[in-house]
Amino acid sequence: MSYRIGVDIGGTFADFCALDEATGRLVTLKVLSTPQEPGREVIAGLAELGNRFGIQPQDIGYFTHGTTVGINSVIQRKGIRLCLFTTENFVDVLELARLKMPDPYHLMSKRAEPLVTRERVLPVRERILADGTVDRPLDQASLRRALDQAIALGAEGIVLALLHSYRNPAHEREAERLIGQWAPRMPVFCSSDVWPIIREYERTATATIHGYVQPVVARYLAALQTALRQAGVAAEAMVTKSNGGVMTAELGKSACLQMLLSGTAAGVIGAGFVARQAGLDKVLSLDIGGTSADVAIIVDGTPTYGTGEMVGDFPIYIPTVSVTSIGDGGGSIAAVSEFGILTVGPESAGSTPGPACYGRGGTRPTMTDAFAVCGVIGHGNIGYDAVAVDVDKARAAVGTVAAKLGRGLEQAAEAIIQVAVSGMYREVGKLASRQGLDPRDFTLLAFGGAGPMLGCFLARELGMRRVLIPTAPGVLSALGGLVADVKNDFISTAYYPLSATELPRLKADFDNLACRATAWITEEQKIAGPYMLQSAADMRYQGQSFEIEVPLQLDWIAVGDWQRIAAAFHAQHDRLYGHSSASAPVSLVSLRMVVVGTSPQPQFPAQPQRTDSPSPAKQIDVYLDGAWRTVPLYRRADLGHGHRLGSPCVVAQEDTTICVPQGFIGAVDAYGNILLSLD
């Protein structure tokens, strides 16, 4: 017997999915996360899988894990103390950034202080030109001065981001070698190794974030590997990546930048799997955990990807699943300002002390407490019996907000929910505008511990008429790790015209990327099965300042059909901006290659059609839409294919609670998903 285990750690719970590869049986579990001792929840969850389901460590043939250690280090600014070495006269690169205000509608807004402050950015005398030729050799004396200053400043690591190293990394390599001789214990991070992209700030900022978290992530992954071995798990640990793929934990120690957004990406991959299973072509995924709500667009089962996603206050320029994060989670704290304004989040109660109703010492009101006051939760334990809901403590906490607002207790609780939904509405509206889509054409796929409670309320505000709730919404991110493919991205700067004369160069550059990608998946990841190569190019019209990514067919490159490549660019430009110019010359900026090793996909059998009507477990009183109502409470385990649900009602299950307000009609499909339609 062999099991595939997926784990995702959030701010409140750690989620587990275990798939029996022989039978296709899927079991799930939640345990409270331990942010003060990262990794302990993984071992506790494995022990609980053994206690509940008889899954022993030696039965585990595949283990994948999503972690927030890296991103939390950036958000909380708990990485290592870095110094940054730049080309002489270019020491202000992080301070200047892109000269953009964080909030253009707030004239007093300030940019966040860089992870490496100005006094720790040190110059090195050298110069490589944009074409890769050496204008001034690396001056060893200036490098030694910079190193001595860095040591005096207490540096725990050094980032090398020299000018034009994306084109020629020789000086960064030489500087790394010399520092290794002079200070062997000093970690050194080369921007040309981290992500060798054109544009000085983007490359430097990305390398800085990598260096800032790498030792922290490496220590965490090493401790995880040790703990798994001691627990008797022989399978090599895998980690989910920001691009929706997976890689070995061993590689993650050095390529930690690739896993900064692993948890959110895994959720979107899991949502894409459910969307394909349910036959939905346009989906807006809504993942609400204890700290945040994450929204992504999924078309034909595939999420959208992008670069420049924000990690805390800073952008990273590696390819990632495009996710918009909103500071409204189940543990988001509600407060009333001195001006009497009700706010929800971004501060979260997390798992310690957690919402007041968890009875773990929390006293401040959260969104979860608001649902407890409204009667939606509190009819049994939640989180696989990890938490017993104390409604009285929720009422006491929400009562502090009610008193300041001068409202009744239930009215204040509903106001907390409405404010949270309005924040989500605003951010989803921005996302829809940027992508040029109409949310009404999409189905909202709600998951996470709190997503099914809020999904219908958000859909109603957006004018969306369908909400899909997966069978195990509270642990969908863990399932996403199980179904994610082994995947990696490679990039090289081109920066030359797209023309017949440049075809040999274009072919050679893509051949080099293909060789690197093939070596990575066969030698480093040791994937023996089939894999795919996907190519793309960042292109623009000559004279434009910014480029767009254009997917390309490998056979176009093989046969040298540069006109087909140009036509693909014109079509993409027209789709994004509404115009194109087929006669205008086109420039290549960067070439991309993605290698994908397909993971086994679970095949869940369709359930037999049921002809009976679902029976509620009991009738409960809930406060919805401004009034107390007596509604049926269903147990998710009692619902089967063909069952229909009226509204309003509540559906309870071990990993979440589904709140169905007036106007929605529910139907259970062949795979146990509940599709809620607004009539």
Q: Which two tokens stand for residue 161?
A: 């981001």
pLDDT at residue 11 in the model: 65
pLDDT at residue 338 in the model: 86
Q: Decide: residue 177, CB within 10 A, 0-12 exposed, 13-18 middle, 19+ buried.
A: exposed
Beta-carbon neighbour count of residue 92 at 10 Å? 11
Is residue 85 helix, strand or coil? strand
299: pLDDT strictly greater than 80: yes
177: pLDDT strictly greater than 90: yes
Query: Is the pTM of the predicted complex or chain greater than 0.85?
Result: yes
Beta-carbon neighbour count of residue 396 at 10 Å? 17
* pLDDT band, residue 293 (cuts 50/70/90): confident
- The packing angle between helices 476-483 and 262-278, to 10°, is 80
Q: Which helix (H) or strand (E) holds 361?
A: none
CA distances from 419 to 44, 422, 456 (A): 36, 5, 15
* Cα pseudo-dihedral 127, 132, 134, 140, rounded to 10: 60
Q: Which two tokens stand for residue 218?
A: 């490496």
What mean pLDDT do residues 555-562 have? 93
- Phi and psi (nearest 5°) for 368? -60, -40
Q: Which two tokens stand for residue 438?
A: 């109409």
pLDDT at residue 238 in the model: 92
* pLDDT band, residue 264 (cuts 50/70/90): confident
> Out of 50-64, 305-319, 519-533, which region has the weakest mean confidence (pLDDT)?
305-319
Q: Which helix (H) or strand (E) holds 46?
A: helix 40-53
192: pLDDT strictly greater than 90: yes
Do residues 31 and 14 make contact, with C-beta atoms less than 8 angstroms apart?
yes
pLDDT at residue 141 in the model: 98
pLDDT at residue 382 in the model: 78
Domain map (residue ranges) of the chain: 74-216, 486-597
Whole-number average pLDDT of the chain = 91
pLDDT at residue 14 in the model: 84
pLDDT at residue 284 in the model: 95
Q: CATH class for domain 486-597?
A: alpha beta
Do residues 123 and 145 make contact, with C-beta atoms less than 8 angstroms apart?
no
Residues paired with residue 595 on neighbouring β-strands, in sequence order: 488, 533
Helices (H), 119-199: 140-152, 170-182, 191-194
pLDDT tens digits along 2-14: 899 999 887 677 8
* pLDDT band, residue 601 (cuts 50/70/90): confident
pLDDT at residue 1 in the model: 57
pLDDT tens digits along 475-518: 898 999 988 999 999 999 999 999 999 999 999 999 999 999 99
pLDDT at residue 669 in the model: 95
pLDDT at residue 393 in the model: 96
Beta-carbon neighbour count of residue 395 at 10 Å? 19
Q: Decide: residue 663, CB within 10 A, 0-12 exposed, 13-18 middle, 19+ buried.
A: middle
pLDDT tens digits along 86-134: 999 999 999 998 877 777 777 777 888 999 999 999 999 999 999 999 9
pLDDT at residue 71 in the model: 81
pLDDT tens digits along 210-235: 999 999 999 989 988 988 988 899 99
pLDDT at residue 640 in the model: 94
* Beta carbons within 8 Å of 175's beta carbon, 6+ residues apart: 85, 124, 138, 143, 160, 162, 188
pLDDT at residue 512 in the model: 96
pLDDT at residue 353 in the model: 87
> Out of 22-26, 410-414, 485-489, 548-552, which region has the weakest mean confidence (pLDDT)?
22-26
pLDDT tens digits along 330-359: 888 999 998 899 999 888 887 778 899 999
598: pLDDT strictly greater than 90: no
